Structure 1
Amino acid sequence: MRIEHVAIWVENIDVMRKFYEHYFEAEVSGLYENPKNQFKSYFLTFQDKTRLEIMQQATVTQRVDNKHLGWAHLAFSVGNRVNVDELTRRLIEDGFVCQNGPRITGDGYYESVIEDPEGNLIEITE
């Protein structure tokens, strides 16, 4: 058994698509649109064939707050500490918020935690 894909609601589907395409080398499917439901989505496929669906719908407009039950973050393994440092540096230089790291966590991971364009947490691990 494997997870086929994970989906996330987004406010600006094009900004989010470009973010994951540029920094995490996602291949992007064609845009799916359902005008009747005012729904749009892209599937983003990463190097190991893991997929993330980003979805936008006119009626989905609010985040409750930054601490809520449910998914907490998305983690990307970039292979080694040098790659963690490099990608984190690029993201910071491009204006993205780094919440912490790069650092060794209490459970032994080398990681940094950044925010994507809409404030969702992304762990970058070795």
Structure 2
Amino acid sequence: MKIEHVAIWVKDIDKICEFYRKYFVGVVHPIYHNPAKQFTSRFVTFESGARLEVMHRPDIDALFHVEHLGYAHLSFSVGSKEEVDRLTKEMSTDGIQVVGQPRTTGDGYYESVVLDPEGNRVEITV
């Protein structure tokens, strides 16, 4: 198992991606946009293979009642859809709150989302 990516909420995706490209030699990937949710994101990949998802929604403050932008979720790659399903079910059985059932997202990820004991979002993906 490995950390798949870390995601942050931002006001200006292009500005933030340029920062990580310029100073940390990140490779900025094409923009993804989901018009139904007014969601936009870009991934930045670093030499080590680590990835940062830079995300924006115009209503993020109201939607999630955030006091500041930044950390959104931690994502773990578990290797297969079956393992996403199994681990999500195990966590649910153990009383971990599942806030996003296993599904394929608009940008092609198969994932579920749970809350850690302090309410932080943890994405479980292939």
**Relative contact order higher in (CA < 8 Å, ≥ 6 apart):** 2
TM-score in terms of structure 1 length:
0.49
Task: Considering fraction of residues, name the structure with more strand.
Answer: 2
